[in-house]
Structure 1
Amino acid sequence: MTVNEPTNHQDLAEAPAATGEVADLLAMLAKQRHFLRFTTRDLTDEQAGLVPTASELCLGGLIKHVASVERGWAAFILEGPSSMPDFTKMTEADFARRADEFKMLPGETLAGVLAEYADVARRTDELVAKLPDLSVSHPLPKAPWFEAGAQWSARRVLMHIVAETAQHAGHADIIRESLDGAKSMG
């Protein structure tokens, strides 16, 4: 079965011309982005903000979160750990702001969320296509979930973005099916 692109949303920009490993990684990321976006086809803003499962996740919020994560990791590729928050010093207010990434807030629209995601994706693809070497690495910021002293290369960061996008595309598929029975595949 062929999965068609949604027709009512702005398509993500084409990845810049790349070859070899970079082309493979960008193609895999583009595929996962497609599946995430596809879960929102033909939905209203209200539907994109609904929470139909036992989790607190909604489709619009998942896309906001994935865009935020991708934006943060792209900055990490360029700037290293200084581009990320100090997770060991985050306050309750910081965590509340991060929780808002998973929600459609008043005034937000699905079209706006998708447009922002398209912009983040375009910038990430341009950055990765221009990198002279995927082996450039930085130490990870201090956080309880990172191994102390670990470093990640741009390659590993990009694989992490692909994995994060794929994981949340799966969550989004379950949420969409809970909303109206529509499936991304099958």
Structure 2
Amino acid sequence: MDQASPPVDGRRARGQRRRAEIIAATLRVVERDGAAGVTHRTVAREADVPTSLSVYYFATLDDLLVAALTTVADEYERKLRAILDAGGDPLTGLAELLAESAGEGRGRALAERELSTLAARRPALRPVARRWRDMVAEIGRGQTGDPLAVEALVAASDGLCAAILMGGERPDVERVRGVLARSLGRA
């Protein structure tokens, strides 16, 4: 007997697509105007949908910001997971990912950084904001059993990301890797 695919609910698919469009518009607003520029109205305008639709899918600004940060966190988690699964040097992979913050990944990295920092004032963002740090800590635990060194790696990666975003120029990946290695107590 042939197993047919379950029927596709067009309304549900359209709703998921619109929700994703609103999230993507939110990220574009954050990249361009910062988190302070995010309102239901600005996001709806960016997504070319009625404001009421933005409010329908995301009742509060926190809901909208959490969804946007979750999207970015999912992207970074996939990239960090690929670094871990690749079998190469995870510090080099992490250094390359950090260096992207000055290149083609700058806008997204800036949005993630701003939304993560906003978590200090908006508790709803905190669980999602911790995901980057947790993944970097996982890389660190694969390199050392010293919990303080793992914390140093997380702090170094956060500091490097901020410095790269402020500097604007793509850093030397080997230098970034060297700083990460030094944070683990390696030369």
- Same fold, TM exceeding 0.5? no
More helix by share: 2
TM (normalized to structure 1)?
0.27
